[in-house]
Amino acid sequence: MAEDYNFYDNVYDVVRQIPKGRVTSYGAIASYLGAKRSSRVVGYAMQVAGSANPPVPAHRVVNRSGLLTGKFHFGGNTMQDLLESEGVEVKEDQVQNFKALFWDPAIELEL
DNA sequence: GATTTGACAGATT
DNA sequence: CAATCTGCCAAAT
């Protein structure tokens, strides 16, 4: 049981560790997993996350621009509503003060 | 088993 | 400085 670790499952694990009121980017997660070029795969995992159990806080995962890419998958403004509910300022599907709210696993989980 | 797509990122023009 | 194109890796069909 060495291959039980999938890139996919690993992504969920990191996303679940995102503290409330914080956001991260696909590249940050991918980079933390050692596949910074696989940022797209991370996003794909999020798609299935909507079907995953327990569902990962994908609403805390945005692209490197802080843009709520994928809100479409949530089914409306659910993503933005959740972020605002956690104290994250979202304007036009874009995380405000993104840089300050940016949660980098490669740094936060570093210790 | 091979091909296509993909919630991106980074480099280049 | 802003917009555009390519690149990369893995999962899904």
Domain that holds residue A27: 7-104
Here the CATH number for the domain that contains residue A56 is: 1.10.10.10
pLDDT digits (tens, 9 = 90+) for A80-98: 999 999 999 998 888 999 9
**What is the reported pLDDT for A73?**
86
Of A residues 48-77, those with CB within 7 angstroms of nucleic strand C are 48
- Is residue A34 pLDDT above 90, yes or no? no
A17 touches strand B (CB under 7 A): no
If one counts the domains in chain A, the total is 1
Neighbour tally for A85: CB within 10 Å = 11
Task: Say yes or no: Cβ of A16 under 7 A from any atom of strand B.
Answer: no
Residue A39 within any structural domain of the chain: yes
Residue A1 falls within a domain, yes or no?
no
Q: What pLDDT digit, counting tens, does each position of A37-70 carry?
A: 888 889 889 988 888 878 899 999 999 999 999 8
Nearest-angstrom CA–CA distance, A54 and A32: 22
Strand B bases near protein CB (under 7 Å) are 6-10
Asked if the Cβ of residue A8 lies within 7 A of any atom of strand C, the reply is: yes
| Gap between the Cα atoms of A100 and A21, Å rounded | 11
Structural domain includes residue A29:
yes
pLDDT tier at A108 (50, 70, 90 boundaries)?
confident
A110 within a domain of the structure (yes/no): no
Q: What one-character DSSP code corresponds to residue A23?
A: B
